[in-house]
Structure 1
Amino acid sequence: MQSIEIIYPDDWHCHLRDGAALSTTVPDIATQFRRAIVMPNLVPAVTTVEMASDYCQRIMEEVPSHNPFTPLMVLYLTDETPVQTIQAAKKSGIIFGCKLYPAGVTTHSHAGVTSLEKCHAVFEAMAELGLPLLIHGEVNDPAVDIFDRERVFIESHLLHLVERYPTLKIVLEHITTQDAVEFVTQAPANVAATITPHHLLLNRNDMLVGGIKPHHFCLPILKRKLHQQALLQAATSGNPKFFLGTDSAPHAQSKKEAACGCAGIYSAYSAIELYATAFEQANALDKLENFASRFGPAFYGLPINTDKITLTKSTWVMPNDLPFGEEKLIPFLAGETLTWKAIR
C-alpha cells in the first residue's frame, strides 16, 4: 500500500507545557490533530475552570493561522477538589475530563490524589454529569517494582473504582501491559484506554540494551516485548475501547540527558506517521482510521471530524532536535528514517 486516506485524527492525551514551550508544542500538535485532550499538570496545576480557561487562551495564541485545532481542557484532581468545581467544569464548555494522578507518580504529580476515598463525592458528581475520569494508572509505592506498578494499580484500585461507580466514564491512559489490555477488554463499556506510539514501537530492550537511551525513558515505563505485542494487538483489533493518545511529553534536552533524567517522550512532531508505522508492522493499516479518528470521539460523545488526511509511502528523516524556548528538544526517533509521511 503506497497511500492511505483517513479522517483527520484527534489526540486524546498530550502534554503541551506552558510559556515558551507552547511555540513549539502547539503548532506541532495542531498540525497532527484537529483536537487534543491537554494534560493539566502544570506548575501550579490546572485545578479550576478559570485556570483552564486562561491556559486554553495561551494555547490558542500559538495555534497557526487558519488552523482549526481545538484544545480540550482537563482539570487536575486533588484531595480537596470540591464538587462545585466539577459542576462548573461541566458547564464551562471547554473542559472534557478530570485527571487523576496518584500523588508523586509522574511529572508534576506531587499535588495529586493521595487516596481515592478522598474523591468519593467528586467521582459521584462526575458520573452523574457524564464527565470522564482520566487516570494515570500506576501506584506510587516504593515497595512495588516499577515494571509492576500498572498491574498493581489495576488490582488494588481500579477494579474497586469501576465496581463502585458503574456509570463513571473512565479512560485508563497510556496503557503499557497485557494486564491493562485484558482489564479494559473485560470491563464495562464505560471503560476505555489510550495507547501511545512509543509503547507500540518500543519495548524495554530498546531503552536499555547497548547503553541506556534517556530519550526512550517514559512513565509508565516501557515493558517486555510480550506487553508491546499485546498493545499492538489491542490497537489493531478494531475494539472501540482502545484509541489514540500520544502522551507526547516534552522535556528540554538538558533535563533528559541528566544524572536524574525526566520521564517523557516527545512524539507530537510526527505522531500520525509513527502510528502508521506501527500499524503497518502489524499488517493492519486498514484499522488505523477507526483507532485514530473514530473511537475516541465516540467515547467522549463528540462529533467525528469531517476533513481527511493522506499518508503516503515516502522516506524522510526525523529532525535531530527542535527549538524549546531557549533550549533544545529531542523528538522521538530523532535522526531516524520514517517511511510514512502525512500530506495535509
Structure 2
Amino acid sequence: MNEITIIKPDDWHLHFRDQDMLLETVPATARCFERAIVMPNLRPPITTAELAMSYKERILAARPEGSSFNPLMTLYLTDKTSVEDIKAAKAAGVLAVKMYPAGATTNSDSGVSSLSSLYPVFEALAEHDMLLLIHGEVTQKHIDIFDREKEFIDQHMVQIVERVPNLKVVFEHITTKDAAEFVLSAREGVAATITPQHLLLNRNHMLDGGIRPHNYCLPVLKRSTHQEALRAVVKSGSPRFFLGTDSAPHTKDNKETDCGCAGCYSAWSALELYTQVFDELDALDKLEGFASLYGPDFYGLPRNTETVTLVREAWEVPSNITLPSGDLIVPFFAGEQVEWKLKDF
C-alpha cells in the first residue's frame, strides 16, 4: 500500500504552551488534526473555567487563516480544586481535568500532593460527564524513575478506578507493559493515549552512545520489552488505546543544558510517524481506528467527517525550527527520514 486515506484525526494530548509559541505550535497541529485536548500546565496553570476560555481565545487567534481546528480545553487539578470549579468548567464547555502528581513533569509544581481529599471532585467529574486525565507516575524520590508508572498503578490508579466507577479515566502517555495490561483489564470507561516516541523508541535511543536530550520526555522511555508491548496493543486494534502525541515544545537551549526539560516536539511529524509505525507492524488497517475513531468515541464526541491522505514518500524532518522570537526548537526525529507524508502538504 502506497497511499492511505483516513478520517481526519484528533490529538488527545497536546501542549501548545502560550504567547508567541502559539504562532508555531497551533499551525503545526492544525495542519492535520481537527481537534486537540490542550494541556493546562502553563505558568500560572489553567485552574478555572475563566482561564481556560481565555487561553482558548489565544489559541484560536493563532490558527492559520481558513482553519477549522478546534482546541478542547482542560483544567489543571490542584489540591484546592472544588466541586464548584467543576460545575463552572462544565458550563463553560471544558471537557476534562488533568491530574499531575506534584513535581511529576514540566510545570507540575502546583499539582496534586494528596488524593484523599479529591474524591468529591472525582465524583463531580463523573456526575457532569467530564473526564479525568492522569499523568500516572509517583514522585517519591526513592522509587526508581523507570518504575514510577507501575508504582502509580499499584498505589493510586486501581483505587481511583474502583472508587468512582462511573468516572471516565484516560491514562495518559502510557509507557509500560504494566500500564497496557492494566487498561486492557480495567472496567469500562478506562482508556489510554500513546505517543509516537514511546512506539518508536526505547531507552537505548536516549542513552546509548551518549545522552540525547531531545529524546528525553516524561514518563521516560523504557526498556524495549515495554516498547514492544505498546506496539502490540496498537496493532491489536483495541479501542481502549488512541492517539495522543504529548507534543511538548521547549527551546533548544532549555533542552541542551545541565538540567534539560522533558518533552518531545512532534507536531510536524507525528501523524506521519504513527503511520510509519503501523506500516512497520503490517497494521495500516488499524491506523484509522487509533487516530480518528476511538478517541472521539471515548470522549462522547462526534467523529470528524473530513479525510486526510498520506502517501509513501520519504522526507527528512528539519534539524531546527525557528520561532518568531528567533529561538530554536529541535523537533522530534530531527534530521531523520520519515517514510510517509501528508499528501498535498
Per the normalisation by structure 2, the TM-score is 0.98
Q: Distance in 2 between matches of 1:188 and 1:239?
A: 14
Q: Is the 8 A contact 1:236 1:291 kept in 2?
A: no
Tell me by how many angstroms 1:236 deviates. Answer: 1.9
- Map of 1:1-344 to 2, 5 A cutoff? 1-93=1-93, 95-324=94-323, 325-344=325-344
* Residues 107-141 of structure 1: per-residue CA shift (max 9 Å, x gap): 00000010111211100100111100000000000
Tell me by how many angstroms 1:5 deviates. Answer: 0.4
Q: Is the 8 A contact 1:314 1:341 kept in 2?
A: yes
Q: Distance in 1 between matches of 2:232 and 2:129?
A: 29
Q: Distance in 2 between matches of 1:131 and 1:236?
A: 29
Q: Is the 8 A contact 2:202 2:222 kept in 1?
A: yes
Per the normalisation by structure 1, the TM-score is 0.99
| Secondary structure, counterpart of 1:32 in structure 2 | coil
Q: Distance in 2 between matches of 1:172 and 1:323?
A: 33
* Residues 20-53 of structure 1: per-residue CA shift (max 9 Å, x gap): 1101000001112000000000000000011000
Q: Is the 8 A contact 2:32 2:308 kept in 1?
A: no
| Secondary structure, counterpart of 2:236 in structure 1 | coil
| Secondary structure, counterpart of 2:159 in structure 1 | helix
| Secondary structure, counterpart of 1:36 in structure 2 | strand
* Residues 211-231 of structure 1: per-residue CA shift (max 9 Å, x gap): 110000000000000100000
Q: Distance in 1 between matches of 2:191 and 2:314?
A: 34
| Secondary structure, counterpart of 1:334 in structure 2 | coil
Q: Distance in 1 between matches of 2:158 and 2:194?
A: 20
* Residues 167-226 of structure 1: per-residue CA shift (max 9 Å, x gap): 100000000000000000000111000000000000000111111100000000000001
The one-letter code of the counterpart of 2:12 is: W
Q: Which runs of 5+ in 2 are unaligned?
A: none
Q: Distance in 2 between matches of 1:92 and 1:333?
A: 37
Q: Is the 8 A contact 1:16 1:26 kept in 2?
A: yes
Paired residues in the alignment total 343
Q: Distance in 2 between matches of 1:118 and 1:328?
A: 42
Tell me by how many angstroms 1:326 deviates. Answer: 2.9
Q: Distance in 1 between matches of 2:5 and 2:258?
A: 44
Q: Percent same amino acid among aligned pairs? A: 56
Q: Is the 8 A contact 1:265 1:332 kept in 2?
A: yes
Q: Is the 8 A contact 2:174 2:194 kept in 1?
A: yes
| Secondary structure, counterpart of 1:236 in structure 2 | helix
Q: Is the 8 A contact 2:250 2:261 kept in 1?
A: yes
Tell me by how many angstroms 1:91 deviates. Answer: 1.2
The one-letter code of the counterpart of 2:340 is: W
The one-letter code of the counterpart of 1:208 is: L
The one-letter code of the counterpart of 1:302 is: L
Q: Distance in 2 between matches of 1:135 and 1:32?
A: 25
| Secondary structure, counterpart of 2:31 in structure 1 | helix
